[in-house]
Amino acid sequence: MSKELTVRQLSRIESGASQPSLPKLAYIARRLGVPVYSLMPDFSALPPAYLELKYQILREPIYGKEEEYDKKEACLDTSRTRRPEYAELILEEHMSQIIEKEVYSTNDMLLIRLFFYQMLIRKDLAKFINQIEKLMLFLLEQKKVTKLENFFIIRDTLISGMCCLEKVGVTDCFNDYLSCLQEIMDKTQDYQKKPLVFMFLWKQALREERDFSLAESFYQSSKTFAQLIGDEFLVKKLTEEWQEDVKKYL
């Protein structure tokens, strides 16, 4: 028996008298040849788990709310396992495979967005830029293989990725992302994230065109749309972001 797990410990785990630590759980999964998350209590297959939650989680604006990530992650985790480590383990199991794909399923995109959320709160975000840019490149092509009813997932995942790239100043492809977002909104007639699109448009106008008047018009439009959807928190964050950008670019 490995020193990592004694017979007594295994018996206590099997009887439910003890909960295994993550290293112990990883060891058991490795010996059994199964994913770690499949040993979590109340585990069920990944697709239903994520699809059950996609509307309540993914329909919410996230820009400027990175501090709320833990709450969203906990919601996702505890709904399936009652353990906060669940999302991290899911990403560890799947992201290496997703990175190598060119065509994404709906659940792939949900995982990519969760990955982007994690990146937003990491201090070493810059180390992952190549991965993020690769994912974003293929996200642009997903309209061809995704049902119209799920276009909002592409939209929200793109926006999350743009927030990551904006944070480290990697904005070379933003016009392509914005064109894709506009096309998605035109096809779905869903303008919930329009304020964020206007935000990125004003940033592009300031840093690329140095056109303050155009940027200010985008800023006013972003606030108007945020007010129309009743998101006063977003109005506040957009105002703060505009003030920071004016100082930065002018």
Q: How confident is the model at residue 16 (pLDDT cuts 50, 70, 90)?
A: low
**Predicted confidence (pLDDT) at residue 81 exceeds the cutoff of 50:** no
pLDDT of residue 97: 92
**Predicted confidence (pLDDT) at residue 63 exceeds the cutoff of 60:** no
Mean pLDDT of 235-247: 95
pLDDT of residue 118: 82
Mean pLDDT of 138-150: 94
Give which of 123, 127, 190 is closest to 159, Cα–Cα. 190
Give the N- to C-terminal CA distance of the chain in Å, as an integer.
Answer: 66
pLDDT of residue 78: 35
Q: How confident is the model at residue 92 (pLDDT cuts 50, 70, 90)?
A: confident
* pTM of the predicted model as reported, rounded to 2 decimal places: 0.70
pLDDT of residue 87: 60
Q: Provide the percentage of residues in the chain whose pLDDT is more than 70.
A: 66
The mean-pLDDT minimum among 33-47, 138-152, 185-199, 201-215 falls in: 33-47
Mean pLDDT of 89-110: 87
Query: Are 107 and 47 within 8 A, CB to CB?
Result: yes
Give 102-136 pLDDT, tens digit per residue.
999 988 898 898 888 888 888 899 999 999 999 99
Give which of 161, 193, 153, 160 is closest to 50, Cα–Cα. 153
Query: Are 62 and 92 within 8 A, CB to CB?
Result: no
**Predicted confidence (pLDDT) at residue 5 exceeds the cutoff of 60:** no
SS3 85: coil
Q: At what angle do helices 151-167 and 129-139 cross, to 10 degrees?
A: 150
